[in-house]
Structure 1
Amino acid sequence: MFIYLSKKVTTPHDSELQCVSWNQNTDFIAAGGTNGSLRILKLAPAETSNKRHTGADNGIATPTNLSVNKELEAHTGTVLCVCFNEVYQKLTSSDSNGLIVVWSLSNDNWYEDMLNNRNQSRVVSMSWNSDGSRIAIAYQDGMVILGSAEGNRVWHKEMPGQLAACCWSPDGYLILLGFCDGEVHAYDSQGNFMQKLQMTALENVELETALVKDLRKDKIISLCWWAPVAKTKYVDNGGYKHKQTQMFNRPNQNDAAPPRITRQPTTEMLSDRQDGRPRLLIAYEHGVIQLMRNETDTQPVMVRLSQIAIACAAWAPNGGFFAVTGQLSDAPTGERNVVLFYTAHGERIRMLKVQGNAINGCAWDSTGLRCALAIDRHIYFTNIRPNYLWGYCADSVVYTFETAISEFRVIFYDVQQEAHYTKAVRHLENLSCNDEYCIISSRSDEEHGSYLCQLCNGMGTQMDFKYTEVKPEFVELNAEAAVIATEDLFYIWHFNLPKKNSFSFLALQRPSTQQDTIHHLDGSVAGPTLRKKKPTEVICALVVADTYFLAAIESGIVYKFSLTDGSQLHKFPLLTNIEKMYFNCTFTKLVVLTHQAVMRQFDVSEDGLNSIPGAQRTDVWNVKWDHEKDDTLAVMEKTRLFVIRGRETEEPVNSSGYIASFKGLSVRTVMVDQFLQRPEHPERRYIVDIEVKALREAKSMLTRMKVSEATAYIEKNPHPRLWALLAEVALNKGDLATAEHAYVMLKDYQGLQFCKKAQKIDDVHVREAEIYYHLGKIDEAERLFFQADRRDLALEMFKTQQDWFRVLKILQTTTGPGDDQLLKIVYERLGDYFYDRQNWENAIPHYEQSKNLEKLKNCYLRRADYNSLRHLATQLQPGNPLLIELSELFASAGLCEAAVENFLRCDRLNEALDTCIQLNQWEKAVTLSRTHNLKDVDSLLGKYAEALTGSNERTLAAVQLYRRAGKYLQAAKVIYDIAEDERKRGATLLRLKKIYVLGALMVEDYHCQQRIKFADAEKKKDKNADEAQIALSGLLEEDNSVSLEESRMIDSAWRGAEAYHFYMLAQKGLYQGNFDAAMKCAFYLMDFDDLLDPVEVYSVLAITSCATRQFSVASRAFMKLESLSDMAEEEKSAYRTLAIKIFNKYPPSDTVPNLVGCINCEHSIPDYSTICPQCDIRIPMCVVTGRPLFDYQFWLCPICKHRAYEQHISNLKYCPLCHHAIE
């Protein structure tokens, strides 16, 4: 960080300033002092200030002119306190007489709004809460008043002691009150006491120092709790745009936070960080500052300022830093004022000395890039140039910003393309760049190492990476290697890049076993575990050359190490407090920057560094050597850019940008402040190129067309860019001789050839057009070509430029010979243009125009548009290689029909058959095989099905295979084998039914297949054949084509499904108490004792028949049970005993016979009978109820051909047996 004074504003009437405050939303500054002085100031916008002073925007980020400077009149005493209400834009001021004035903003003017005077004591502190609705006013006598923004008193309370300061907590829940004895108490927003804060600062004070310096050890100077600034609700003339800049984008180094008490916020405020950063600052006059994370923090950070009496302390807008103003007690009068800048963790960054007698106030602006200091009668403005994490590599600006706690985004902004790329990084530690690459260092969660270093190019693409145990506090790199260092340790990382290695890089290569060696400054090698002891020598700066690097320590010693093996080459004294070091392009000179912003130059030799006399400069905060000249460098001093060449210094140019590069007589500066205000929306206008004097003067001469003078000037100050500029101007003027001379000096062979070519062109228009074309002025060249009626040259120019859009435009607007062929080429190139950018939609019509079917196929394939691919295949001639490729493409996509069709068009029968087999389209494969007499598919199918057998689940896959091949009987046979195996294993009834239904459906599919086959065959024989004739011939042919076993299987296809279906109906009726239906189902199941267990069937029949008083049926059931041969004698005896008990009581005859007429002969039979004894006809069963069906009107399933009562089937959606949908 570099800090300097940029402006001084003097107040009139000899009033001494006592306080100052800076509005974060509207940028107004309020300063109060003696004699009732209260001034309102405002700095002019940056754009106005820049144009007024420089006439151009050279990166002035901080304005210095005042647009408002007014006196507010209301006070008579000394104004001691001023504070802004950021939300409602009110200003509150108080003086030594106790008068409080509230001012309101309107049209950039402040008007008196409210007055209040308690007339008993003076105000020592005032503070608005975050949402601007409440103000806390602390009086010296202990009175605290809480007021509203409308001017109403909410409550007041007398405190037991005198007050010194007050502030609000960020959530508006607590009010902290600082007492004159140094204690700090916390009260809630209703005035209730909450707790007393632990004040470590009072416990460890140096009493002797405080007494000797006449400073009270308990006097609180500042009490402030950082909170994000709320956005204003004030709107006037479009309102004010709230700016929040990440003033310092470096990561937080301490994430540990103590527990915080749970509290319900009373206000809606901006998101607050929940990391371990201190937010509460308590400053005492004797030079002690206590930093606390919250009001319950028992381990605060203590900052002790030796020999300094504190006057004021204030947080920066982002809460990461704070400023402290005070006076050095041991300095002479007039030189005592100092401003110190600390991190939130109490680490000192910078100290700035300011002239004056007393410094009484300090305030930050909204960006955190400026401070206002109240000193005597003056307001001093200080500019701050932070040490951002940013860099410049490969024409890309690289910077980072934090999106959440420990979550960072690294932006790579390509200056040429004006495009940016984002890379997410967790736990970012460092960022360093050179001309080509960038290294992003972060803490690692992996086991490979504690830190991860990524080498990226200008687009953020990772080129190499390395895990290391060395904290990347310092990272410097060249094109082949990087040095990572912290304290007294360093590690050398040699890149492994995907490009041809240079000889210098080969010289630096070492065996891979030595790549992870960590070195100490003393030359020793660190062990497996790095030592934790604080070293005596700590690295403070690094710089890398081609084969070695320098490491400076705080004591002023510089070590020289080899980049090859890390060995120490030399050690010599230089300067203390070195901050940065920079090598020139040839590594012969070194620039050193110190913490005091002093720049020194040194000549580099083998033995050490020799100081260059007269090269010292002060107030330097940025340096960059010229990439091409070893004696030229660009230097930033405050807001002025100097170019130093040897011992000559050019006139400075106003700029506050950071130097990114210096080459081609142009210094490129980057306004990093502006980039970080809107980090996700970088803009090219924040990058400013500043030309050096030689380039400016040469341009001036050439603009005035003084070519000869410019040539002489360039010969005295030769540079490739100047010669290129002279060549361009000479060509524009038509001075080919001067242009040729310039190209000779440039050693530009192509330029020389062009000059010779131009001299041979007689036509003036054509020559001028060729010159414009050579200079890149395409539009002017095109205009002149058409003026000379050389349409062909214009077309050739655009073809060379690969600008096919312009070629197409010319072809569409004018005509000429050979346009058809050229138009076809143009459409193809335009298609390639869109194809390379993955814009398939726009590429397709251009490929269609060019009739490039190969590339059109690729576009359709990228879009997965197979319909268009099938249409494309129809446009190809049989045998076309592209058609074969499309066929293979269809096969790989599973489109069997399209693949086979196109294979057949190409006479690739075997490929078509293989496709069917691979895609399990066996039916089509069989058809192809029989149609074209190909290899035996049946045997192949059998082998494939056999390979699928094993478990029943795998065997079912073979069933699917047979089904796809149209081999329905083979599939049914396999299914019935599975069913038999499952039946023996005792599978569930439902599973067995499903398997038998599946087998029966295969048989039905076989019937359907045969009907279609024989119908086609009969129609080929006799076109007039009716359906009856076709069906009869089909049945006869079917009987002749199947074996006896297959015939039996066909006849009993549904028998297994019926058995288990009706058995489940019988069980269902039994358990539901519907014994009549259960008995009729069980009676029907007597015919299935080969599939069902007879004991279970006849047991169900015996139980249900007894329950329905059909004892004749029960008698038959018991007789069957007693006659079973595979039943044990004990069981038979039990059944016999049970039968005797039943039939001793009930005779074996039906108690209530229910007779119905036979559906065929009308003979009366019991309603449970399944066969008529008179005519031997089998009575069909209802698949819904399980009862015999005696109605003449019934429902018939079109698939399984089973029947059901219409009144019962009407409530169902599917057939109960085969589950076919009922229409």
Structure 2
Amino acid sequence: MFSYLSKKIAIPNNAKLKSASWSKEHGYVACGGEDGLLKVLKLEVQNDSKHKGLAAQTNLVMNQTLEGHSDDVQVIIWNEKFRKITSSDQNGLIIVWMLYKGAWYEEMINNRNKSSVKDMKWDSDGQRICIVYEDGAAIVGSVDGNRIWGKELKYGSLTSVEWSPDGNTLLFGLLTGEICVFDSCGNYLNKMSTYCLNNIHGAVRIVSLDWYKGENNYGTRMLPSLAVCYDVGRCQLMINHEDPDPVLLNTGIQITCSCWNEDGSMLAVAGTQMSADRNINVVQFYNPFGNHLNTLLLPGKCLTACTWEGNGSLRLALAVDSFLYFANLRPYYKWAYSSTENTIIYNYSRPHTFEHSITFWNLKTNKTKIITVHHLIDICASEDYVCLICKPSDVSQGVILTMYTAIGVAIESKRVQFEPIQSMMTSNQIILINKSFIYAWQYFTPKQTLDLGFKFTSSTIRQRDGIERLYHIDTISLRTGSSSFVDDDISSSVFQTEVDWNIMNQPVSSDPISTLTISHSTRRLLIARESGLIQIYRLPDLYFEMKFSVGDNCPYRIYVNCNATCLGVIDESGIFRLHLIPDNSNSLLSSVKFQNIDNFIRKDVWDVKFEEDNPNIFAIMEKTRMYIFDGLQAEPAIHTSTYLYEFKNLEVQGVLLDELVKTVNIQPNEEFLLKTPIKKVRDFKQILEKDGLEKASEFINDNPHTKLRHLFIEACLEKQNLEMAELQFVHLQEYSGIQFIKRLRNIQSKLIRKAEILVYFKKHDEAETLLLNNDRSDLAVELRKRLGDWFRVAQLTKDTGILMKDLEQAEIWNGIGDYYRSQMLWDKASDYYKQGNDLLKFAECLYQLEDYKGIERIIEELPDCHDALYDFGLRFANLGMIKQAVHAFIKCNRRKEAIDVCLRLNEWRVAYELAKSIDSQDADHHHHQEQEKRIDNLLKQSVVCFIEQGRIIEAVELYKHAGRFLDAAELLYKEVQKIKQSSNRSPLYMKKMYVLIGLLMEQYYEQNKLQANVKPRNPACGEGVLMASSTLAGLLLTEQDHTIHNNNNGIINKESEILQNYNSIQYSNSNMNLIKTNVMNRLIDQPWRGAEAYHYIMLTIKQLYNGLFNYAFRTVQLLKDYGDILNPLIIYSLIDINL
């Protein structure tokens, strides 16, 4: 950040100021001083001010002197909730002031008449005030003037007091430097540890006790918010009064006061820097972690008070002698700009949240996208990509680099083992620095992913991770390497497998790094060190090239021009200087036209931007003014406080970040942007307006530039001077512009020609108004159609009453649907596609809305072999909706794809049906036989895989899904036989297994009946033979069912033999070829026999246990017929028991 003095208000009669306080919510500044001086001031921005932010002109709208005190006013505090001022003087007189009709009046007066008031504080709710006196008395009162409690503390004289944010704790500072902790009722709790006074001997005094109350509570509050400052220059920052590990500061100054800013993100410590020559008033700024941000020097002798403004904490009021100074602050915002995508990325914190909101604001479309991250450290961007640097949520060290596109889509991340102080980004590399190390990550872009063709081998995976480099600043300049240039294409680079993070254990550099910059055109990295030494490295390999010095002052920021011949340096005090960069032979480059560059000095500079095309032009931000320099000649100042993000085509562009980060719930617009052309452009426009095209043409010849030529072309076309415009297009070598001039010459109507010119310069609204005013609504509609503004087309057709054909109306609805589809508003898009009768896009919207019934209706409406049916089939297949997918594929005559989907989704039965459904007389009958064989092979491979893994049940289930019920029954039967031989399973388990076999065989019989009824024709036999065979198969299967269920003796009748012989002939190519053994014959004829055997044995055992011996004896006699299934020993043992 950077700070500077901006305004000074003198106090009448040279009265010395003793105190000051700025109301953060209402904007009033109260200051007190000698002899009872108490003034209330208010600065307001003019309503007609053309500027915003800190650059806006302010007027002193209130300057009221409050009378009531007679001695020095030492303490002033605000009650923000009730808009009251409480002041006290040296004699102990306390006055509460209230605002009434635009003026301040006394409301209450209190005087203890015993001792002087040393400090007063309101709690965060503004309901209670605590007053401490020098003699040790403490009083707590209410906002209405009633005393709540009072107590004489026996710990000595009091110097300060502070409430905790929740109002439950009070801290009292003693004259000895100790701090006592009390509850809100005045009960003593303990003493607070003051670690910052270790090794301090002698008397110390507390000068400030400030606890940020969290009124705005931006970001996480697990940060130090309690600041304790002593006059000897020591401070400690604590999370709460019991924090065992506070942040300790040694400011090196004699502190007089300190205070937190509006959101608790910055602490201002004011005091005097003592030296042998003279004493200097300074204000030092720290973040909650104790990092020093900036130092502000002040004139005068005695600095007595400091107080923050509330509106963004961009200003600080300081009481010095008989003056009230105002200092402006230029914070280091976390933001970046993507030039190719024309997108600003910035960060802001929402109140009462623990997250950082990152906004991607596209300046071209004025659309924003917001993402949230935790613990944001920094933001950097290149032409196409953005990198967010965040601390991880765990307690580990380091940061996480996350790359995003310019529309806020994360594409890559990388973890780094140290926390950077600054970062920058090129088109293919991210550079991080801290005090001693340089880290470079040559990342992998999505375009390079496409170049690899998605062949993710071990080599390409390493390429996707990119190249990492880590060097110590003291050793990188000694590194040897090839002096030849290294290509920045990752695919052709030599890869470093891993970064050696042990380098981080090297000692801290004696000359730390202060800042960096990158020359994108020459691909050079420039590192500045605190001694003023500049080191230059080649990118992307960080090969050291040279070093030179820019003086003894520590550089705060450095900037390089477009051809890396001149370096701009801002030091810590805001002084800006220019330095010529020597080449490798230590001779100064002479391509820049800076004369007397050593004498060029600008003060209070906080931002610089060099022109991207001209190395001699640059812009600087000096306080609240912007200066543009051509060479070293400054143009007239422009009053603004913008942050510069681009200087291109003779135009400086900046953004009002101060105002932008405040717009939490407001869509940003062009009011936050500043576009300022340089004086040359302004002069050229003035010549165009006053002197005409001839003089302007002469000016361009003397000052040729692309920007000026385009302005001249626009002026020529407005006057329809086609010859001069065409000449400038020739100079620019813009073939499209020459063709546009040719097209204009073919247009006879001046009205249409003028409208075309307006459209060419993207003045679409003006062109439409011109056409409508001349009763050419048809051309206005055509114009909007060309622009793709279908909403406006629909509105124009409605307002003008133009008759539209059905196809034209459908085109409008489909165009609106395209817009909503691009925004992924599928429900709205589907409505318009339906009106436009675009079934394909309508179906896509339904797919995104998961309305699959609607897609099925569309499939029925589409004709056979429509191109969209294949896409619908793939979509349904991806969803696992096999029925719908097969229907779509069959309708578009993609039978092979339908079979493949069935196989992929384990719908084997459907696959077999599809393979067999082809008519044998078709030309591709052989092809479908091959398909059936392929299905068989895949099925067998899957079954064998399951069997090898011991997953028999899964194999059976697979056969069952494929409609191979006999194979499934056979496999299950074999498994039952293994179980019977290897283990003693319970009869119930064995019964269940045989029941499954029986069910599978029943399904097998039903399948054969259906096949017999729908058997395909065989061209080798006649129709009568076909009908007879089908009828015979059905009769024999029915008779077989009857035989199996009634013949318990295992006798195979004549009809079964005929059926077997018939099936062996008719189904020689099916699973019937497995029926060759007597075991399988019995399984086919009597599938329920095993289940019956185990049912009878279970029934026998149950009857025996229940004492039904007669029934058991009858049942056990039936078991004799199942000796081939049951163990005969068990059967006859049961018979013996019954006997």
**In 2, distance between residues paired with 1:912 and 1:4?**
76
Distance 2:251 2:396 in 1: 42
Partner AA of 1:184 in structure 2:
I
Correspondence for 1:431 among 374, 379, 383: 379
1:316 matched to which residue of 2? 261
Q: 1:26 and 2:3 equivalent?
A: no
**2:127 aligned partner, one-letter code:** S
Q: Quick check: 1:921–1:965 contact (8 Å CA) kept in 2? A: yes
The equivalent of 1:196 in structure 2 is: 191
1:641 CA drift (Å): 1.4
* Structure 1 residue 96, shift from structure 2 partner: 2.0
Q: For 1:723-775, what per-residue CA distance to the aligned partner results, in whole angstroms no more than 9, with x for missing partners? A: 32232233223333443454455444433443344344332223223323323
2:736 maps to 1:736: no
Distance 1:152 1:726, change over 3 A: same
Report if aligned partners of 1:517, 1:525 keep a CA contact under 8 Å in 2: no
Note the C-alpha offset of 1:998: 3.6
In structure 2, the residue matched to 1:169 is: 164
Contact 2:1100–2:1115 (Cα < 8 Å) also in 1: no
**Does the CA-based 8 Å contact 2:908-2:963 persist in structure 1?**
no
Q: Answer yes or no: is 1:289 the counterpart of 2:235.
A: yes
Matching residue of 2:478: 524
The reply on whether 1:155 has 2:103 as its aligned counterpart is no
For 2:986, give the aligned amino acid.
T
Aligned to 1:992: 990
Matches of 2:529 and 2:864 in 1, distance apart? 81
Aligned to 2:624: 639
Larger radius of gyration: 1
Matched with 1:124 is: 118
SS at match of 1:567: strand
Aligned length: 1026
CA distance in 2, matches of 1:666, 1:1054: 93
How far, CA to CA, are the matches of 1:701 and 1:198 in structure 2?
73
Tell me how far 1:59 sits from its aligned partner: 4.5
Cα pair 1:457 1:463 within 8 Å, conserved: yes
Match of 1:399 among 330, 343, 346: 346
Query: Per-residue deviation at 1:123?
Result: 0.9
Shift of 1:201: 5.4
1:971-1004 Cα deviation digits (max 9, x unpaired) = 6666666556555533234433433444454566
8 Å Cα contact 1:182-1:202 kept in structure 2: no
Q: In the aligned structure 2, how far is the partner of 1:952 from the partner of 1:515?
A: 45
Answering whether residue 702 of structure 2 is matched by residue 754 of structure 1, we say no
Q: Are the equivalent residues in 2 in contact too, given 1:140–1:163 (CA < 8 A)?
A: yes
Aligned partners of 1:492 and 1:566 also within 8 Å: no
2:221 aligned residue? 273
Residue equivalent to 1:1088: 1119
Which residues of 2 match residues 1105-1124 of structure 1 at below 5 A? 1118=1137, 1120=1139
Change (3 A) 1:419 1:1082: farther
The CA distance in 1 between the partners of 2:647 and 2:72, in whole Å, is: 53
Relative distance call for 1:974 and 1:89 in structure 2 (3 A) is same
How much has 1:970 moved relative to structure 2? Answer: 7.0
Does the Cα contact within 8 Å between 1:90 and 1:104 map onto a contact in 2? yes
Could you tell me which runs of 5 or more consecutive residues in structure 2 were left unpaired when the two chains were aligned: 450-462, 481-499, 589-593, 1016-1023, 1026-1033, 1044-1054, 1061-1077
1:592 aligns with 569
Report deviation, 1:322.
1.9
CA deviations 1:895-931 (Å, max 9, x no partner) are 6666666777777878877877775463894698489
Structure 2 SS opposite 1:529: helix
Equivalence for 1:90: 84
In the other structure, the counterpart of 1:620 is 605
TM-score normalised according to structure 2 size:
0.77
| 1:920–1:961 Cα contact (<8 Å) kept | no
1:162-196 residue CA offsets vs partner (Å, 9 max, x unmatched): 11111123343332222222222222223232223
SS in 1 for 2:329: strand
Alignment of 1:988-1137 (within 5 A): 988-1002=986-1000, 1035=1039, 1040=1055, 1042=1059, 1057=1091, 1075=1106, 1080=1111, 1084-1088=1115-1119, 1090=1122, 1118=1137, 1120=1139
2:527·2:534 contact (CA, 8 Å) conserved in 1? yes
What code does the residue aligned with 1:274 have?
M
The counterpart of 2:213, out of the listed 192, 209, 227, is 227
Distance 1:930 1:285 in 2: 98
Find the aligned partners of 1:464 and 1:342 in 2 and give their Cα distance: 34
- Aligned partner of 2:560 among 578, 583, 586: 583
Moved more, 947-956 or 112-121: 947-956
2:7 match: secondary structure:
strand
Q: 1:790 to 1:956 in 2, by over 3 A?
A: same
Aligned to 1:1141: none
Q: Distance in 1 between matches of 2:1092 and 2:85?
A: 95
Q: CA 1:980 to 1:373, structure 2 compared with 1: closer, same or farther past 3 Å?
A: same
State whether structure 2 residue 587 is matched by structure 1 residue 629.
no
1:973–1:198: structure 2 CA closer, same or farther, 3 Å change rule?
closer
Which of 485, 509, 512 aligns to 1:538? It is 512
State the one-letter code of the partner of 2:749: D
Name 2:365's counterpart in structure 1. Answer: 417
CA 1:59 to 1:632, structure 2 compared with 1: closer, same or farther past 3 Å?
A: farther
For 2:319 and 2:397, the matched residues in 1 are separated by: 50
1:312 Cα deviation after fit = 1.7
Change (3 A) 1:328 1:822: closer
Q: Is the 8 A contact 2:436 2:509 kept in 1?
A: yes
Counterpart residue number, 2:534: 558
- Asked if the contact 1:61/1:673 (under 8 Å) is kept, the reply is no
| Alpha-carbon distance between aligned partners in 2 of 1:631 and 1:941, rounded to the nearest angstrom | 76
Provide the residue aligned with 1:922 in structure 2: 909
CA distance in structure 1 between the aligned counterparts of 2:189 and 2:29, rounded to whole angstroms: 35
In the TM superposition, what is the alpha-carbon distance from 1:143 to its structure 2 partner? 0.8
Letter in 2 for 1:765: L
How far apart, CA to CA, are the structure 2 residues paired with 1:483 and 1:909? 56
TM-superposed CA distance for 1:471, in Å, is 5.2
Measured after TM superposition, the shift of residue 145 of structure 1 is 1.4
Superposed CA offset, 1:421-459 (max 9, x none): 455555544434456655544557999995555565533
- Give the corresponding residue for 1:69: 63
Residues 946 and 958 of structure 1 are in contact (CA less than 8 Å); yes or no, is this contact kept in structure 2?
no
| 8 Å Cα contact 1:470/1:485 also seen in 2 | no
What secondary structure does 2:469 align onto?
coil
The answer for the alignment partner of 2:1068 in structure 1 is none
1:354 paired to 2:298: yes
| CA contact 1:224–1:282 (8 Å) conserved in 2 | yes
Match of 1:142 in 2: 136
The answer to whether the aligner puts 1:605 opposite 2:620 as a matched pair is no
Tell me the residue number matched to 1:1163: none
1:649 aligned residue:
634
Give the match's secondary structure for 2:659. Answer: helix
Quote the residue 1:674 is aligned against. Answer: 659
Q: Does 1:658 align with 2:643?
A: yes
Contact 1:245 1:368 in 2 (8 A): no
Conservation of the 8 A alpha-carbon contact between 2:8 and 2:325: yes
CA–CA distance in structure 1, aligned partners of residues 798 and 129 of structure 2: 74
After superposition, the Cα gap between the structure-2 partners of 1:75 and 1:660, relative to the gap in structure 1 and judged at 3 Å, is: same
**Alignment-mate amino acid for residue 346 of structure 2:** Y
Q: Specify the alignment match of 2:1064 in structure 1.
A: none
| Percent of residue pairs identical | 30
Tell whether the 8 Å contact from 1:929 to 1:936 is kept in structure 2 after alignment. Answer: no
The code of the aligned residue for 2:41 comes to L
Name the structure 2 match of 1:505: none
Q: 1:74 corresponds to which letter in structure 2?
A: G
Q: Which one-letter code corresponds to 2:507 in the other structure?
A: K
Q: Which moved more, 1:974-983 or 1:622-631?
A: 974-983
1:43 aligns with 2:43: yes
- Gaps spanning 5+ residues in structure 1: where? 208-216, 230-242, 247-271, 502-509, 1022-1029, 1102-1115, 1121-1223
Q: Which residue of 2 aligns with 1:764?
A: 750
d(CA) in 1 for partners of 2:881, 2:408: 42
Check whether the contact 2:131–2:139 (CA below 8 A) recurs between aligned residues: yes
SS at match of 1:472: coil
1:202 and 1:848 map into 2 onto residues whose CA distance is 77
Match of 2:109 among 115, 118, 122: 115
Distance 1:597 1:823, change over 3 A: same
